[in-house]
Amino acid sequence: MQNRRRAFTLIELLVVIAIIAILAAMLFPVYAQAKSAAKVSTSLSGLKQMALGLHIYASDYDDMIAPEYGWAENPAVDPNQYHYNNTWVGKIFPYVKSKPIYFDKTIGEISDYDMLYQDPYYTYTWAWITTFSMNTDGYSRTTTATNACTGAGGGAGSSSRSMTAFEDPTKRLAITPTRYGSISNWSWMRFLAVQAAWPTADRYANTFSWYQLVFDARKQYGTRFLGAYADGHAAKFGNDKFVKYYEDNPGQTEANTFAEFCAQMDARNLWTFWGKPWSGD
C-alpha cells in the first residue's frame, strides 16, 4: 500500500506560528540595537574625520582654526550669507570630501544638497544646517572680554583661535551632535558653549534654543554623547558635563542664575571641556 503523508493539524500550525512570533519578538530588538550601535559607530567615525579635517585646515592656515561662520561671497549676485557654503563645514570639505559625513546618522540626512532649506527664520544651504556642530566660543574663536561671566557667547571683538591655544586639547570639545527643536533631519552648524553647557534638563526645545542644541541630542544618545576634541580624537562624554536647570523639578536645579552657573563651571572644572569664551584660555 502507498503511504500517505499526514498533514499538519491546525493546532500544530498555530504552535509553529506562535514559536516563530516569539523568536521574532526576541530578535527584532537585538537587530534594532545592533543597527543603532552601527549608526553611532558611523557617526563617531565621521566626527574623527572632521576633527582631522580641522587639523589639516589649520596646518594650511598658519595653525588657525577654521572660522565657524560664513559670509556672502558675491553680494552683488546674492547678498544672503546663508546661501553660500563657506561656513566651517565648507572650509574643511576639501579635506573630508563627503557631505553626508556632517550629518548624524542616528538622526538622518537631508534629501538634497542642491536646494535651500527653510526654518522659521531664513533659508540656508546644506553647509549651515548640519547635525554635527562646532563649538564656537569655546573652540573656534575667543573674545576680548576678561571677566569669566561677561564673555559668554562671543560677540564684538571676537577673533579666531590658534590650535596651540588650548591648555589641554585632549579635553576641549570641538564638534558634537546637536538637535534643533522639532526639525527632523537637520540642526545648526554651530553652538555657543556657555549656553549649551546650561540646558533645561527636563524639557526638550520646540524650536531653536542655544541652551538645548547639544543637550537635546539625548533623544538619540541618552546619557552618553559623542564629541570630537581639539587634539583630533573622538569619544563619548556624559551628562555630567552639563550644569543642569530644571523647569518642572526646580529642586534638582544646579544653577538658577548666570553667577551660579559660572561658580559651578569653576568648581567642577568644566571650562576645560567647554572652553572659556574670553581671551587667555
268, 255 contact by CB (below 8 A):
no
Q: What is the pTM of this model?
A: 0.84
Angle between helices 88-96 and 10-60 (to 10 degrees): 100
Tens of pLDDT, residue by residue, the chain (281 residues): 555 556 667 777 777 787 777 776 775 564 555 556 677 888 999 999 999 999 999 999 999 999 999 999 999 999 999 999 999 999 999 999 999 999 999 888 898 999 999 998 899 999 999 999 999 989 998 876 666 565 444 444 578 889 888 889 999 999 999 999 989 889 999 999 989 999 999 999 999 999 999 999 999 898 899 999 999 999 999 999 999 999 999 999 999 998 899 999 999 999 999 998 876 56
Q: Looking at residue 154, what is its pLDDT?
A: 45
Q: Looking at residue 157, what is its pLDDT?
A: 56
